[in-house]
């Protein structure tokens, strides 16, 4: 029984991390499917979101930074799209990979310059502290709240993509950009909007994780590899693939913390290697020739 209690607690912790990965992986997948860019700078936008929390919350509180940080980071994404990404949509994807890697490097160093290298503490807001008791299970109030918020955010993204004109244009653009153009629709503003949305989601994840693990310059690089594992397992460009993969990675990681904590991180890479052996394109991935 004790084991079960601990297991549920760790699974919730794992799912929490999976949810953070999911927010980042969804954005990665969106930018990739529409623009053909694997954005290695995505983790940087996440880190900037977390740092903005520290800057903004003394004035607006945690709730305020949940809104303000993603918006500000979205605007930053708009600039990156307009001046950098746009030049690489139709070029060799390897170049954009190197470009965004360089951007990630610059962003991380810029954070170090502005905020210093040591981690900055940020504590869980008063209202969300403490535990929730469900029978024998003890669950963190904050984590559960955030999990619920992520579910809402992901549902909103799903609604936007599936049920709105904006989403239909984006999905049509992924399928057949030439045909979209032949209907008089220029994809440029949509591409910019998708980048804004995607990096905004990453920033939201950054704000959410700030109270849990502290805020430090390398946090972007750390979360990025995890998010890539989710994307590789789920299959680039697949909404449900990414959602399912994030859940799997979260649960596996949570259980590993219980069994063999030192290698919880390594376990998700082993999981990825296994899935690649069995399904080289990921769980739901489609073959996109130009990225192979």
Partner 1 sequence: MTALSVPAPPRKAPVLPEGLTLGAAALVLVVLPFALQGLGLTLTSATDVVIFAIATLGLNILVGQTGLVSFGHGAFFGIGAYAAAILQRNLFPGGMVLPALAALALVAGLAVLLGLLILRRRGVYFSLLTLALSALSFTIAFRWTALTGGENGYGGVQRESLLGLDVGDSWVWYAVVAVVGFAVLVALARFRRSPVGTVLEAIRENEQRARFLGYPTNRYKLTAFAVSATVTGLAGVLMAFSHRFASAEPLGTAFSGELLAMVVIGGMRSLAGPAIGALFFILFRELLSIWTGDWLFWFGLLFVGFILFSPDGLVGIARRVMRMIRPEPTEDAAMAGRRAGTPENLPAFLRPEGAVRPQEAVRPGEAVRPGEAVGGTILAADGISKRFGGLKAVQDVSLAVRDRTLHALIGPNGAGKTTAFNLISGMFKPDTGSVTLRGGSVAGFAPEKICAAGLGRSFQITNLFPALTVEDNIRIAVQGRHPGRFDVWRDARRDPAVRAETAEILRWLGLAGLERAEAGSLSYGGQRLLDMGVALATKPRVLLLDEPLAGLAAAERTRIGDIIKRVSTEVPVLMVEHDIDRVFQIADAVTVMNEGQVLVDGTVEDARTSPKVQEVYIGSGTAAMAAKPRPSAAEAEVLLALEGVDTFYGKSHILNGVTFDVHTHEIVALLGRNGAGKSTCLKTITGIAPHAAGYIRLGRDSLDGLSAAATARAGIGYVPQGRGLFAGMSVAENLELGRLRRRTGNGVHWDEERILSYFPRLRERWRTAADYLSGGEQQMVAVARALSGDTRVLLLDEPFEGLAPAVVESLFETFDALRKEVSIVIVDHNLDLALALSDRTVALERGRVMHVGPSRDLRDDLDLRRKVLWL
State yes or no: residue 227 binds partner 1 (CB under 8 A).
no
Which range touches partner 1 (CB under 8 A), out of 53-61, 87-95, 205-213, 241-249? 87-95
The runs of H, that is alpha helices, within the chain are: 2-35, 42-83, 93-115, 141-163, 165-175, 177-182, 188-213, 219-234, 239-259, 264-278
- CA 30 to each of CA 86, 194, 283: distance values in angstroms, whole numbers, following the listed order: 15, 7, 17
By C-alpha distance, which of 13, 121, 127 is closest to 63? 127
Q: Tell the smallest beta-carbon distance from residue 170 to partner 1 (Å).
A: 11
* 2-61 binders of partner 1 (CB under 8 A): 38
Which of 82, 86, 141, 171 touches partner 1 (CB under 8 A)? 171
Closest to partner 1 by CB, 161 vs 202, is: 161
228: helix, strand or coil: helix
Q: Tell the smallest beta-carbon distance from residue 76 to partner 1 (Å).
A: 15
Which of 4, 75, 79, 94 touches partner 1 (CB under 8 A)? 94
Which of 67, 75, 109, 130 touches partner 1 (CB under 8 A)? 109
State yes or no: residue 269 binds partner 1 (CB under 8 A).
yes
By C-alpha distance, which of 143, 126, 130 is closest to 10? 143
Tell me the chain's radius of gyration from C-alpha atoms. Answer: 19
The phi and psi torsions of 140 (rounded to 5 degrees) equal -70, 130
Q: Tell the smallest beta-carbon distance from residue 273 to partner 1 (Å).
A: 6
Query: Residue 286 — left, alpha, or beta (φ > 0 → left; ψ -120 to 50 → alpha)?
Result: beta
* 193-222 binders of partner 1 (CB under 8 A): 218, 221
Closest to partner 1 by CB, 134 vs 273, is: 273
Which of 201, 232, 247, 256 touches partner 1 (CB under 8 A)? 232
d(CA 187, CA 33): 13
d(CA 205, CA 40): 16
Which of 181, 240, 259, 286 touches partner 1 (CB under 8 A)? 181
State yes or no: residue 278 binds partner 1 (CB under 8 A).
no
d(CA 292, CA 230): 18
Site residues (CB under 8 A) for partner 1?
Answer: 38, 84, 87, 93-95, 97-99, 101-103, 105-106, 109-110, 112-113, 165, 168-169, 171-172, 175-176, 178-187, 218, 221, 225, 228-229, 231-232, 236, 262-263, 265-266, 269, 272-273, 276-277, 280, 290-292
């Amino acid at each position: 029984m004790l084991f079960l209690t601990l297991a549920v607690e760790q699974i919730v912790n794992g799912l929490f991390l999976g949810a953070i990965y999911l927010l980042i992986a969804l954005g990665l997948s969106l930018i990739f499917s529409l623009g053909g860019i694997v954005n290695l700078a995505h983790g940087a936008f996440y880190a900037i979101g977390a740092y903005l929390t520290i800057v903004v919350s003394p004035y607006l509180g945690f709730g305020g930074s949940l809104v303000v940080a993603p918006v500000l980071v979205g605007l930053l994404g708009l600039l990156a799209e307009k001046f950098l990404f746009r030049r690489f949509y139709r070029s060799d994807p390897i170049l954009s990979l190197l470009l965004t890697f360089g951007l990630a490097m610059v962003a991380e160093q810029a954070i170090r310059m502005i905020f210093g290298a040591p981690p900055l503490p940020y504590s869980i807001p008063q209202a969300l502290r403490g535990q929730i008791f469900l029978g024998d299970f003890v669950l963190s109030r904050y984590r559960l709240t955030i999990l619920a918020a992520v579910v809402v955010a992901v549902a909103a993204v799903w609604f936007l993509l599936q049920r709105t004109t904006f989403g239909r244009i984006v999905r049509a653009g992924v399928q057949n950009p030439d045909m979209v153009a032949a209907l008089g629709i220029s994809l440029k503003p949509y591409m910019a909007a998708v980048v804004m949305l995607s990096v905004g989601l990453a920033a939201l994840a950054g704000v959410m994780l700030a109270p849990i693990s502290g805020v430090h310059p390398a946090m972007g690089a750390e979360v990025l590899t995890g998010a890539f594992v989710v994307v590789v397992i789920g299959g680039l460009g697949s909404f449900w693939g990414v959602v399912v993969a994030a859940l799997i990675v979260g649960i596996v990681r949570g259980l590993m913390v219980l069994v063999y904590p030192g290698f919880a991180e390594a376990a998700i890479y082993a999981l990825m290697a296994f899935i690649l052996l069995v399904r080289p394109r990921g769980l739901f991935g489609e073959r996109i020739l130009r990225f192979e």
